[in-house]
Amino acid sequence: MHSEENWDNIISPKKSLFAIDFKEIWKYRDLLIMFVKRDFVTLYKQTILGPIWFFLQPIFTTTIYVFVFGNVAKLSTDGSPKILFYMSGIILWNYFAECFNKTATVFKDNQNIFGKVYFPRLITPLSIITSSLLKLSIQFLLFLVILAYYVLFLSYQIDINIQLLLLPLLILLMAAISLGFGLIITSLTTKYRDLVFLLQFGVQLLMYATPVIYPLSSLPDKYRWIIELNPMTSIIETFRYGILGSGSFSWNNLIYTTVFAFFIVSIGTLVFNKTERKFMDTV
């Protein structure tokens, strides 16, 4: 046989580091939809309250935060009603934390499927951020209902800024940052499990380095830059500025976050791509 044959598929050890097959991922989009559907259909099976849990979780958390940070510690809320202030931070932070925690264990959680069938592995983390996005949307609706209640019955002076239109970008940035970090951690933990322990408390502690329970303005100028280094800071501040009129908005910080998100999601995807072909041997 002289002629080089046209093979459809060549499986070989060395693949370029940058070879991410977006066409293939697109081909498997139905699988992504099925994963999202599975997450929703099975999440609240055999519970009495079912999907109501989507609402209860932020309501309980907000109540506790209002009591502990608002009434006991008396932290500033920049003049916004405490409930709206905390809840706006919580639903965004929950989205970030959930995406991060779940993508960070994606290899471990799916080793049974990954060990038996090939499909583009990136589908799984992408399905995670999509499922969480649905949850975020539901919780955002809850937030809007409560906001409406404040406006209608408590004569709350609504103060919405044009920056609220940036919300889709903010969500995209959160998804990218959590995906990027999550992919790096899940790739590193296939061989060395050490980072799993860091993750267990790391995400929780990270919340305190983000203006979720306090406004950025309450910090002394000397230390503010440290918190501003956290890419999540400008996301939460921009959201609050947009919908509550409190907090701060700075294009510089937002651009910094955008560059950071792009950088980390690129690194994460590359590392993940490199790991996915070998991880079954080490996990």
Give me the residues that bind another protein (CB under 8 A), please: 1, 3, 5-13, 15, 27-28, 30-31, 33-34, 37-38, 41-42, 45-46, 112-119, 191-192, 277-278, 280-282
How many Å apart are CA 186 and CA 278, to the nearest integer? 13
Which CB, 94 or 127, lies closer to another protein?
127
Instruction: Please report how close the Cβ of residue 45 comes to another protein at its closest, in angstroms.
Output: 5
How many Å apart are CA 249 and CA 215, to the nearest integer? 12
Q: What is the distance in angstroms between the CA of the first residue and the CA of the last residue of the chain?
A: 41
How many CB atoms are located within 10 Å of the residue 236 CB? 23
How many Å apart are CA 149 and CA 160, to the nearest integer? 15
Do 231 and 260 touch, CB atoms closer than 8 A?
yes
Do 120 and 25 touch, CB atoms closer than 8 A?
yes
Do 91 and 140 touch, CB atoms closer than 8 A?
yes
Which CB, 15 or 82, lies closer to another protein?
15
Which CB, 3 or 157, lies closer to another protein?
3
> What amino acid is encoded at 8 in this protein?
D
Which CB, 37 or 200, lies closer to another protein?
37
Instruction: Please report how close the Cβ of residue 267 comes to another protein at its closest, in angstroms.
Output: 17
Instruction: Please report how close the Cβ of residue 104 comes to another protein at its closest, in angstroms.
Output: 19
Instruction: Please report how close the Cβ of residue 268 comes to another protein at its closest, in angstroms.
Output: 20
Which CB, 37 or 229, lies closer to another protein?
37
Instruction: Please report how close the Cβ of residue 56 comes to another protein at its closest, in angstroms.
Output: 21
